[in-house]
Structure 1
């Protein structure tokens, strides 16, 4: 049975307490994992610590923590600590983010994101083992580091996000799971083939790896408003967050639409960018509608073979009431 997760809002929330309350509601409603993104607001480690202290059963995780903003050793320490304070409920989701974020906001060279992600995963896993870390890589050369505290037991899973074929193959080969985003059902199946190939190349036990699809959802009594919020969110990512999301959509056979959205958005014509995304494609990327209609639409994404969990995500402009409405409408049965 496909697990159902909740992806805490990527947009700024009123307070840390609001995020804690959303995680508590997710626990009450039976969601399996509460994922927290780390962008340019509150940091994930502090916020997840607060959530861990105020919940009991729901798993918690980062989706995603950028591999450029912390050293791999520090990421390993943070993962070990979060596993401790959550009493074994933590999952670590890592990813490179993109050059706009990494170079403009963190002042770091983006470089080769695949190689850096792989080396970070390798080192983090060594740190979490409790053994002394010895690593000679292209980006990192470590020796002599060892946790001063007990190694976490169980060791938290280390998962990665990725969009392109090579990034997803890398997740299958070296990570404990893959976080998928902004994919149609057909596009998801194509990338699942990359993940399975990577898993075979790494001689991994696929049954111990977890694929999580993050799905933007908006379930409101006002169906038109739900659609507007979901579409606005998709267009923002395709047009305003660098070229990764645009290229990801183009790879799925929608190059003309992807370029039209991106070009109009970059030109400052948000209305034209919205109009460039047709409804039939929007329905393949996001979920919206009345509570009943949205649930029926959501269920079409839960039967893709190879996906272990689908995460209910929210439009960046959704308010607290709209977030709660969506969480309740799509809660696990």
Structure 2
């Protein structure tokens, strides 16, 4: 079982603070440090700086969305970051959600599964160094070829997915699956979808690296840690469109998911937080004191078929609290 990081990129005071977390993660023995790309600082520039200031830790995106950049540009970016990092890069892509794509990027959010599949195909063609010709439903490319040498080895192309069909797609076509907002039992269900997808693609499911991005907050002040984790969970289920609400509902928590969502949408933050009891918080996060958190992490790492847990952090955590959590959950 590998231990990764899913680092914040937008909210820290300055860019140097973000890159410092990569250096700390490397010194603590983490395997890969991923960056999301939401709002604020972009992931590509930040990863370029991290590649310059680290030597051994893997670097990746989790995720670049498949709407705001063309697939050939994503392929060029992956090739460049692979070169900049001396072959330590992993490309994570995914559709994100309609709230982000339509409201922030002004693009139509349509048929995300098909679009993701086409991006995987074109990115791989781009990274091969061969001429790219592709006539898809959403992507049409003719005559493009990298002018520089293609990366050798090419970086893995991983896919973020939450629903059954999306996870099946990851198992069938991608080099890895990024999971988010899963209980251990919910994760086991989706791993079955991954295996089915691998079978449809005549692939070995063990060849698909599975990574769970897990909301973690570990402090000597355990109540503060749990409060931050609860606020983060309420924000995602209640405030980030319906994808996270629906993902939680599929795992047997439909009534609770709707209660969080409805309260948040009505502006009742306290009611949304109250709908997340301690049992649900423990099933979806690792939060509390170091002793509590290590036991909680064991429950996730015991899931058969999971290759890595990526320690992520609540959106309200301060820089010192992120560093404390990283140190508490560092690989042995």
Matched residue of 1:301: which SS? helix
CA distance in 2, matches of 1:192, 1:208: 13
Query: 2:5 corresponds to which residue?
Result: 6
Query: 1:130 corresponds to which residue?
Result: 129
Query: 1:154 corresponds to which residue?
Result: 153
CA distance in 2, matches of 1:43, 1:11: 8
CA distance in 2, matches of 1:297, 1:117: 33
CA distance in 1, matches of 2:282, 2:294: 13
**Is the CA contact (8 Å cut-off) linking 2:158 and 2:178 kept in structure 1?**
yes
Relative to structure 1, the CA distance from residue 166 to residue 10 in structure 2 (aligned partners, 3 Å threshold; closer, same or farther) is farther
Gaps of 5+ in 1: none
**Deviation digits for residues 157-193 of structure 1, max 9, x if unmatched?**
0000011000000011110010001001110001000
1:219-238 to 2 correspondences below 5 Å: 219-238=218-237
Query: 1:28 corresponds to which residue?
Result: 27
**Is the CA contact (8 Å cut-off) linking 1:292 and 1:329 kept in structure 2?**
no
CA distance in 1, matches of 2:295, 2:10: 26
* Structure 1 residue 10: Cα displacement: 5.3
RMSD (CA atoms): 0.8
CA distance in 1, matches of 2:252, 2:190: 13
Displacement over 6 Å in runs of 4+: none
* Structure 1 residue 278: Cα displacement: 1.6
**Is the CA contact (8 Å cut-off) linking 1:11 and 1:316 kept in structure 2?**
no
Query: 2:166 corresponds to which residue?
Result: 167
**Deviation digits for residues 209-263 of structure 1, max 9, x if unmatched?**
1000010000101111000000000010000000000000000011000000000
CA distance in 1, matches of 2:125, 2:199: 22
Gaps of 5+ in 2: none
CA distance in 2, matches of 1:205, 1:61: 23
Matched, 1:102 2:105: no
Query: 1:248 corresponds to which residue?
Result: 247
**Is the CA contact (8 Å cut-off) linking 2:61 and 2:93 kept in structure 1?**
yes
**Is the CA contact (8 Å cut-off) linking 1:10 and 1:316 kept in structure 2?**
no
1:162-311 to 2 correspondences below 5 Å: 162-311=161-310
**Is the CA contact (8 Å cut-off) linking 2:9 and 2:42 kept in structure 1?**
no
Matched residue of 2:213: which SS? strand
**TM-score, normalisation: structure 1:** 0.98
**Is the CA contact (8 Å cut-off) linking 1:218 and 1:227 kept in structure 2?**
yes
The count of corresponding residues between Structure 1 and Structure 2 is 332
Matched residue of 1:300: which SS? helix
Query: 1:55 corresponds to which residue?
Result: 54
Query: 1:331 corresponds to which residue?
Result: 330
* Structure 1 residue 206: Cα displacement: 2.5
